Amino acid sequence: MRSHPRIEQLLLQAEHQRRCVWPMEQGDRQLLMRRVRAGILVTPFQGLFVRKALWLQLPFAERIAYILRAVCHQHPDWTVCGISAAAAHGYTATYYQHRFVHIAVSDRSKARRHGPFVGHYIPKYRSVVVNNGIRATTPIRTMFDCARTLDFSTAMSICTMGLRATQLTAEALQNYCQINSRKHGIRRAIYVAQNVDPLCTNGGEAVAYATILELGFAAPECQRMFINPIDNKPIYADFTWTLSDGSLIIGELDGREKYINPAMTKGMDSIDIVLHEKDREAGINLLHIPVARFQMQHVHNRAQLEQRLSAANVPRPGKGKRTPFTGFECRAY
């Protein structure tokens, strides 16, 4: 396809600013759509364009950021909130959950869905931050909004990563809930704040932890330290339950992220990571403590996680109990 100077300029400028193109002229939009049909560009979000080759090489977190930066570039007075703000702060990178962009509005009449945008009435959101090129609600406000509007496991994951990133405590989130005790969904927010554990080291562990609680199993201790009998160095179990007789059960989440996430691989190649994990598993096995192993696919298929924890005799005092999330339907994505 023949190059068009104006379209190239729009694309280059957007790429320099790490965002998608949001064309304002109908003629530009038509030219961009021709390139979509030719397979040169893609439209990852309604009205936005980006080169296909660039888009395919972006990690999910940056894809979400490209969309949010484009929105904030076009509307510099807008402030993203809720799960969109969580992505801006780096608390979530689950791409399918960002079908809409969530915007804080001070006019209650605008608190509804407008095409791909969802307005949320937040009358006092003047305290905002610009993070990663995106104007967003503050971290504590973002965690609070996610806790009261999202499903339990997603809210727990976002709040876990938020508390870890800000080094705030669960008590700080609980206090913020008390200050905003008249907000819609406050019972859900308080429940998340009372159960969130920032010792979970990543979002997957936080989702697993939340699912364990939703299934009614006892809350485990996260990242409990043991001494490896092989080399006398500390090793940490993902989840540990202490039974009434003092005996222990360890729960281990075997996920792919520890092998592929650069933040977790720390420069080691895949073989070194596998061997390191095998050494850790050997140390845990030598503790002679029963270990229930599960994967994220078992967490998502809750019956399989339930089978594994029940087989390991993990206590289940909350089976069948209702929570503020019982019957709640998340409509944020």
pLDDT tens-digit series, residues 8-55: 999 999 999 999 999 999 999 999 999 999 999 999 999 999 999 999
* Rounded Cα distance, 94 and 76, in Å: 25
pLDDT score of 328 more than 80: yes
**CB burial string 249-267: b at 16+ within 10 A, e below:** bbbbbebeebeeeeeeeee
Burial (0-12, 13-18, 19+ Cβ within 10 Å), 142: buried
Provide, for the chain, the percentages of residues in helix, strand and coil under a 3-state DSSP scheme, each rounded to the nearest 5.
45, 15, 35
pTM equals 0.91
The helix-helix angle for 170-179 and 139-149 (nearest 10°) equals: 80
Radius of gyration of the chain (CA): 23
pLDDT digits (tens, 9 = 90+) for 133-156: 999 999 999 999 999 999 999 999
